[in-house]
Amino acid sequence: MTQMRTHTCGELRLENVGAQVQIVGWLENVREVGANLAFAVIRDFYGTTQAVCETEELVKAFRDITKESTVMVKGVVRERASKNPKLPTGDIEVVPESVEVLGRCRHNELPFEINRSREADETARLKHRYLDLRNPAVKENIILRCNVVAALRASMHEHGFMEITSPILTASSPEGARDYLVPSRKHPGSFYALPQAPQQFKQLLMTSGFDRYFQIAPCFRDEDARGDRSPGEFYQLDMEMAFASQEDVFAVLEDVLPPIFAKYGTYDRASSAPFTRIPYLEAMERYGSDKPDLRIDLTVDDLTALAQETGFEPFAGKTVKAVVVDKCTLTRKQIEKLCGDIEVQAGQKPYWMKTDDKNALAGGVAKFFAPMEEALRGALKLSENTLVLLTCGAKLAAQKAAGVCVKLAGAAVPGHMDERQYSFCWIVDFPMFEIGEESGELEFCHNPFSMPNGGLEILEKAHRGEVDPLEISAWQYDLVCNGVELSSGAVRNHDPDIMLRAFQLVRLGEEDVKSKFPAMYNAFTYGAPPHAGIAPGVDRMVMLLAGEASIREIIPFPMNKNAQDLLMGAPAPVMPKQLEELSIAVVEK
């Protein structure tokens, strides 16, 4: 071994007994048994080794060293009398001849106990992330991330993809989220933007004649944090293929991902090819979500027609959806808690009713369905001990609330969720357009560069009023795993004529397209190949593999929920001279 050590702290075994060694690392703990006996634990990146001090001089030397100082220990390896089978180095110990402090920890009190840092307040963890990362349990997630990225990169090379990096400083473009803007010193009043994704660049690469591109791409979006979304910066396995269809993209990912999930995942089972394919409208109707968790065997039934006959006012004129949960032994109190949890996530509390062990229907809104109980039993195929959760409202709201019922009831009621697996599916045929919540006008539903199903012909029919634009679907697809959206992708719109007609439907003319997307529009006029791509999120992928609930647990230096870097103190004010150089004035709100 080179550097300052002969062995790492995770390396020594019984075959090293009698060897003169030198180890380095952090002093994790010292336990004194008497004036002439103390046990010290030295930790490095690779593991821990116990050192046993058997002289008063060495006991005092270790006592005077603060915990988490870095030390160098020289000594002899011997077999432990009391072995620790839980540790790889548990059969041996080092008897020190000397200890030297390499870097003293100048704090007698640490912000948290290193090996229990995950129990500490998140603010303290992020502010002292360098200490948090010393915890082997925290470090393991970063090692996992490194291994997964290496495996993804190797697999993409094996599939004939070329790794090409795209620019970080680029132009602002309307891609759905807020841009991070970077002022230009040389061009006062003008700004670069950090890329929300390499979308346009990878399409330009296809137009440039490259056949298969990928990169582990950094993306920047000024959006709020969620459990599965980190604010500010994230990474994705960005890929694009020329002269390719949806089937080509699916074939690549169905070959690349399952082995990685099976090898590195918390669960050792992953879907094999071909992944289940579910059209968007069917997903919303059957699962109440475009991110269904196929580990759960519950689905959504439509009960609208029957519910209108009940006379129950909340159902009147509304779409009513039902989630039937058989083999349910939850008590009334537990059902009410489940409904409360659903309300928090869905924005509405579901109504409910339940059959007992004799298949008698009671509880909740059961009395309103009594006159048509036979029809209800036939429609929902009710059996003993079956819970029925009901949501209502406008169609989309009822669907989404039912989707939350599926998710939470599937997890709460035993027997409805096969947790120990990774279940992939494709959601296909997304709507091309939607009515914007804020504008109230027609907008692109997802990616404006997606090819519409039906091409130019379907768009012309929409312009003539022969087809409702909301009924046009796109060659767009999402990859979903265990209820988490891993990525969106699409067959791209490579034809300038089709692109212009699509943008005209959302009130953007030819000059608007040319000004907002000049490089891509112009490139397409020189002959572009049909192309398709996708970009699975690396952070979400590793989060699933590690079995973590928060994406911040797998990012080396994450921001907090408010997009603040507590470690480096960002964002922060800058010097007036810097603002002056950039021709920027800060206006107080």
Q: How far apart are CA 365 and CA 307, in angstroms?
A: 11
301 in the same domain as 408: yes
Cα angle value 277/279/280 (rounded, 5°): 125
Please report whether residue 27 resides in a domain: yes
Which of 77, 103, 129 lies at the terminal end of a domain, its last residue?
A: 103
Please report whether residue 400 resides in a domain: yes
Please report whether residue 561 resides in a domain: no
Residue 422 banded pLDDT, cuts 50, 70, 90: very high
Which of 377, 412, 447 lies at the terminal end of a domain, its last residue?
A: 412
Q: What local confidence, expressed as pLDDT, does residue 1 receive?
A: 47
The values of phi and psi at residue 54, to 5°, are -125, 20
25 in the same domain as 87: yes
- Smallest Cα–Cα separation from 496: which of 449, 532, 431, 447? 449
Q: Is the pTM of this model over 0.75?
A: yes
Distances (CA, A) of 478 to 140, 262, 447, 551: 29, 21, 12, 19
457 in the same domain as 359: no
For 200-254, how does the pLDDT look when each residue is reduced to its tens digit (9 = 90+)?
999 999 999 999 999 999 999 998 877 677 888 999 999 999 999 999 999 999 9
Neighbours of 24 (CB within 10 A): 19
For 10-61, how does the pLDDT look when each residue is reduced to its tens digit (9 = 90+)?
999 999 999 999 999 999 999 999 889 999 999 999 999 999 999 999 999 9
Could you tell me the CATH number of the domain that includes residue 36? 2.40.50.140
Q: How many domains does the chain have?
A: 3
**Tokens standing for 289?**
């979500």
End-to-end Cα spacing for the chain: 59
What residues contact residue 466 under an 8 Å CB cut-off, 6+ apart?
none
Q: How far apart are CA 293 and CA 410, in angstroms?
A: 10
Could you tell me the CATH number of the domain that includes residue 400? 3.30.1360.30
Please report whether residue 355 resides in a domain: yes
Please report whether residue 96 resides in a domain: yes
> Alpha helices of 12-121 — where are they, by DSSP H?
56-63
Q: What local confidence, expressed as pLDDT, does residue 102 receive?
A: 96
71 in the same domain as 32: yes
What residues contact residue 19 under an 8 Å CB cut-off, 6+ apart?
6, 76, 77
Q: How far apart are CA 78 and CA 8, in angstroms?
A: 16
Please report whether residue 448 resides in a domain: yes
440 in the same domain as 339: no
Query: Residue 83 sits in which domain range?
Result: 14-103
Neighbours of 3 (CB within 10 A): 8
For 542-562, how does the pLDDT look when each residue is reduced to its tens digit (9 = 90+)?
999 999 999 999 999 999 999
User: Amino acid letter at 345?
Assistant: Q
Please report whether residue 123 resides in a domain: no
396 in the same domain as 435: no
Please report whether residue 180 resides in a domain: no
Look over the chain and give the mean of its residue pLDDT values, rounded to a whole number.
Answer: 94
356 in the same domain as 451: no
